[in-house]
Amino acid sequence: LADVVGADGVVTDGDELAHFGSDRCRGGWPVDPAMIVFARSASHVQGVVRACAAHGVAIVPSGGRTGLSGAATATQGEVVLSLQRMGRVLDIDEVARTLRCEAGTIVQTVQETAASVGLLYPVAFAAQGSAVVGGTIATNAGGLRVVRYGHTRDWVMGLSVVLASGELVELGGQLFKNNTGYDLRQLFIGSEGTLGVIVEATLRLCEPPRGTVSALCAVPDDSTVLAVFTRARRHGLTLQAFECFDRRCLEHVQEHRGRERIGPFSAPSPQHALIEVEVTGYGPDAEDHARDELTTCLASAQDAGEITDAVIAATRQQSVQLWSLREDITESLHRYTPFKSDVALPLARVTAFLEAFRARVAEALPDIETVVFGHVGDGNLHLNILRPEAMELDEFVRRCAGFADEMYAMVRAHGGSISAEHGIGLLKRPYLHYSRSPEEIAMMRAVKRAIDPDGLFNPGKIFEP
Ligand X SMILES: Cc1cc2nc3c(=O)[nH]c(=O)nc-3n(C[C@H](O)[C@H](O)[C@H](O)COP(=O)(O)OP(=O)(O)OC[C@H]3O[C@@H](n4cnc5c(N)ncnc54)[C@H](O)[C@@H]3O)c2cc1C
Among 21, 47, 122, 134, binds ligand X (CB under 6 A): 134
Interaction of residue 452 with ligand X, rule CB under 6 A: no
Complex with ligand X: residue 199 or 218, whichever CB lies closer: 199
Q: Tell me the residue type at 258.
A: G
What's the CA gap between 263 and 374, in Å, rounded?
19
- H/E stretch holding 168: strand 168-172
Interaction of residue 142 with ligand X, rule CB under 6 A: yes
Interaction of residue 135 with ligand X, rule CB under 6 A: yes
Whats the size of the chain, residue-wise?
465
Residue nearest to ligand X (CB): 135
Under 8 Å between Cβ of 294 and 239: no
Interaction of residue 109 with ligand X, rule CB under 6 A: no
* Torsion sign across C-alpha atoms 235, 379, 326, 301: positive
Phi-psi map region of 423: left, alpha, beta (phi>0 left; psi -120 to 50 alpha): left
Complex with ligand X: residue 164 or 294, whichever CB lies closer: 164
What's the CA gap between 295 and 232, in Å, rounded?
11
Render the burial of 112-137: b for 16+ CB within 10 Å, e for the rest. Answer: ebbeeeebbbbbbbbbbebbbbbbbb
Under 8 Å between Cβ of 409 and 389: no
Interaction of residue 141 with ligand X, rule CB under 6 A: yes
User: What is the bridge-based pairing of β-strands 168-172 and 339-344?
Assistant: unpaired
Complex with ligand X: residue 72 or 400, whichever CB lies closer: 72
Which residues 6+ apart lie within 8 Å of 139 measured at CB? 67, 69, 71, 152, 190, 192, 421, 422, 423
Q: Which stretch binds ligand X (CB under 6 A): 12-20, 137-145, 225-233, 406-414?
A: 137-145
What's the CA gap between 216 and 380, in Å, rounded?
19
Q: Site map for ligand X, 315-344, x if CB under 6 A? A: ---------------x--------------
Q: Site map for ligand X, 68-107, x if CB under 6 A? A: x--xx----------x-------------------x----
Q: Which stretch binds ligand X (CB under 6 A): 11-19, 121-129, 287-295, 302-310?
A: 121-129
Among 60, 218, 298, 312, binds ligand X (CB under 6 A): 60
Interaction of residue 23 with ligand X, rule CB under 6 A: yes
What's the CA gap between 436 and 113, in Å, rounded?
38
Q: Interaction with ligand X in 189-228: which residues (CB under 6 A)? A: 192-193, 197-198
Q: Which stretch binds ligand X (CB under 6 A): 61-69, 216-224, 270-278, 393-401?
A: 61-69
**Beta bridge partner(s), residue 35:** 79
Interaction of residue 127 with ligand X, rule CB under 6 A: yes
Q: Tell me the residue type at 86.
A: M
DSSP string, 232-273: HHHTT--EEEEEEEEHHHHHHHHHHTTS----SSSS--SEEE
Among 21, 47, 67, 263, binds ligand X (CB under 6 A): 67
Interaction of residue 460 with ligand X, rule CB under 6 A: no
Among 9, 33, 47, 61, binds ligand X (CB under 6 A): 61
Judged on CB neighbours under 10 Å (0-12, 13-18, 19+), 442 is exposed
Interaction of residue 171 with ligand X, rule CB under 6 A: no
Q: Site map for ligand X, 227-246, x if CB under 6 A? A: --------------------
User: What is the bridge-based pairing of β-strands 380-386 and 271-278?
Assistant: unpaired
- H/E stretch holding 11: strand 10-11
Q: Site map for ligand X, 173-192, x if CB under 6 A? A: -------------------x
Interaction of residue 62 with ligand X, rule CB under 6 A: yes
Interaction of residue 155 with ligand X, rule CB under 6 A: no
Q: Which stretch binds ligand X (CB under 6 A): 132-140, 235-243, 279-287, 390-398?
A: 132-140
Under 8 Å between Cβ of 145 and 240: yes
Question: Site residues (CB under 6 A) for ligand X?
Answer: 23-24, 60-68, 71-72, 83, 103, 125-127, 131-132, 134-136, 138-139, 141-143, 192-193, 197-198, 330, 421-422, 458, 461
